[in-house]
Amino acid sequence: MTMLNPDVKRVHRTMIVYRVVQVVLIALLGYMAFNFQRLFALRGRPDQFITSIVTAIVVQLILIYPIYRLAWRDAGIEIEGSVPGLSSEQLAALRKRRLMGDLWKSCAVIFFLTFVVMAPDQAKAKAAPLVLSCTLFSFLFACLSYFQCFNFSVRKRLKQAE
């Protein structure tokens, strides 16, 4: 699909919303980090906090390329969908592509939610807080990366279209 003249205002509004979401996620990450650090210190295992952060960063390094590819794809769909005067066939094709991206994102959220819900209680397993913190930090890092990659991809694609 060729880009004629996308409605840049609509795309920029989406980017602003994503920036606000990033701020909220960073605040949540800070709050969780503070609470997990305090929990590990109270349990006499402050080293587990660093372990959970390092593990989350390693998971993030593994996920960064698929996240970037998904964000690049979603940015293209967003820009293509903002072109005024699209035919119903073009809109249907974009909707189908957008649905596939939403399916991938939903699968990732469901995976992390299932992992957190299925984590054993800390009374049953001593490593439960470590596993839970690694999982939650990885999820937040993945979400932040997606939104950052999306905004980067939109800016890059709009610059290429000029």
- For 48-82, the pLDDT digits (tens) are 999 999 999 999 999 999 999 999 999 999 888 88
Identify the pLDDT of residue 5. 64
The residue-averaged pLDDT of 125-136 equals 82
Backbone conformation region of residue 7, classed left if phi is above 0, alpha if psi is from -120 to 50, else beta: beta
Identify the pLDDT of residue 122. 65
Average model confidence (pLDDT) across the chain: 88
Distance CA 31, CA 51 (A): 18
pTM of the predicted protein model:
0.85
Residues of the chain above pLDDT 70, percent:
91
User: For 3-43, what is each residue's pLDDT tens digit?
Assistant: 456 678 888 899 999 999 999 999 999 999 999 999 899 98
Tokens for 23? 């701020």
Distance CA 46, CA 44 (A): 6
For residue 55, give the nearest of 117, 152, 130 by alpha carbon: 130
